[in-house]
Structure 1
Amino acid sequence: MKAFIFFLLLGIQGAAAVTHSLKYFLTGSSQVPNFPEFVVVGMVDDVQIDYYDSNTEKAEPKQDWIARNTDQQYWERETANCWGSQQAFKANIDTAKQRFNQTGGVHLYQWMYGCEWDDETNEVKGFEQDGYDGKDFLSFDMKTETFITPVPQAIVTKHKLESNRGFIAQKVNYLTQICPDWLKKYVSYGRSSLMRKVLPSVSLLQKTSSSQFHCHATGFYPNRAEMFWRKDGEEHHEGVVKGEILPNNDGTFQMSVDLDLSSVTPEDWDKYDCVFQLSGVNEDIVTRLNKVTKKEFPVGVVVGVIAGLLLLAVIAGVYMWQKKYKGFKPTNTSDTSST
């Protein structure tokens, strides 16, 4: 596999250069019911391109444009790489449990890695991070070529990896050269799909007459989008809660932004509107609030939001780490065991 979850927030007005991403998420688990012990997910621009798990022990494409541009040897290589990582992750979990003085119970060891490429400046950035039981364990600093850890249990791993300068050189070469080269190939394979623009449907919803207003946009692509409330034409922040951009099952995205108007009379509701902006599209979708806004919150919307969260969690097998990292999978070097 060659790379994977990060969300860009661009200055949306007008055409903009696109930063593409290739990310891989590897998740090893222990005693998680009805979930494979090892899962690998690869993503380009937050679109899943391939998948492997320990139940099937077979890497497979998840996009037609990936399948059309790869052959059997490619997937045999990917399967072999993933199978090797699967064995390493078993050892990693056992070692991590010893470091944290744990015995049984549910545990997850995760590895995210990949790269970004700006198609206008040609600038590339690599990233890699490990997590254990939903918390940061180890991350690679590209500038210093060293590992950073917030927990003492990872100090041994840090010293072990940093002492192998050949391993570090391989890692840097992958993240700055090999990964971007593959990313550019994948983008060329799926350009018509990855570069498409799909506008959403936008709804204004309210659970009860006294609850906050929920502006919900769904079905848009790509996920480089922004949504906010305005009052009298000016961006409004008081009483506003913005949600995350979440995936839909069909490859599109959804998001929402809530507004509390409990202290505002219905006669003044028409001062507020919800604005959705999609990167590369100059025209905003503006939905004005007024006192006859339909006050209902369809079950389908709730289910859609929950399904989006479950899709992200189940496919990638990951916890939500700090937003600044946004992504992950192990580089294919001679040393795949990190703990």
Structure 2
Amino acid sequence: MSKPLKIAVLGFWHVHAKDYARQTQEHPGTELVAVWDDDLALGEAGAEQFGVPFTADLEALLGRDDLDGVVISTATNAHRDLMVRAAKAGKHIFTEKVLAPTVTEAEEIIAAADDNGVKLVVSLPRLAHGYTQAIRDVIGAGGLGRLTYGRVRLSHDGAVPRDGNEGWLPQRFFDRETAIGGALTDLGCHPVYLIQLFLGADPETVSATYRSVNGRGLEDNAVVTAGYRDQKIGVIEAGFASRNPFTIEIFGTDGSLTYTETGNVLRVSGPAFGGEDQQLPVPDHGNDPFAQWVDHITNDTRADDNLARAVELTRMVAAANESAAQGRTIPYSASDGV
């Protein structure tokens, strides 16, 4: 790359916006040149922190000939309109998950990107983590036998009151109109796309139970169960109300696998592994989604797998939210969101 790509951050609504701004400054192939936000306070604070200009004029920013791409980390309900607008302006797009509230909107975003030659990547970072590849290798080798059950849990204590405060997670994460959903729609995306990777993205049914431990407006404690036609069960757990080790469990007719981030430990058991519990090595992480985005822009390639998984992630989140709202198990295939 002869010179860095010039990138603007659009929106500091999401807590990861600062991480992406930092990545933009640290990656040798990108340069952070501007910040926009429809919330002036958030945008101006972000621009000041990273030492770049703030603009309130989105049309002028997207019209800049020297701007190559945008990082979009606005409220979830703004994704579709903003991304389609950026795509039509010819700006490459890196975005926080979920891609959109509904599958229809997600597909409209992808179509706009394709129609305008824009490279679009959604941040699904745990797909590139070393333990994910190691687990895929174990499953692919067949040592677990026929898979019967998978469970992924991810939580933090962002909604738990501390020292007189309601929690470190901003209240905007509990606004139904802008956030679309709570713990499942945000943090739960990671367990969703991992269960889809390990067990498949085509369950027959989805059942969701949401609870609000701290009463901040949306669920901060969520469990989603996916039932598959071949009788597998996938369990997706997410929460803002407790800090637990990130864990993965995969069971089959011939063996079992567990992973915990505490110590980065991956264990397997079963006849294929000598009949005893074994600890397997966990490789280093691969390129993160931001680096993948830069590579796709540089090499003029499309993020086929990332975009397909982003659509199915949206489908599952929408189905879970629908199930929780209706208080019943729902068919998965027709779900599109609300």
Q: Which has the higher strand share?
A: 1
TM over 0.5: no
Identify which of structures 1 and 2 has the higher relative contact order when contacts are C-alpha pairs closer than 8 Å and 6+ apart.
1
| Bigger-Rg structure (1/2) | 1
Q: Which has the higher helix share?
A: 2
TM-score by length of 1: 0.23
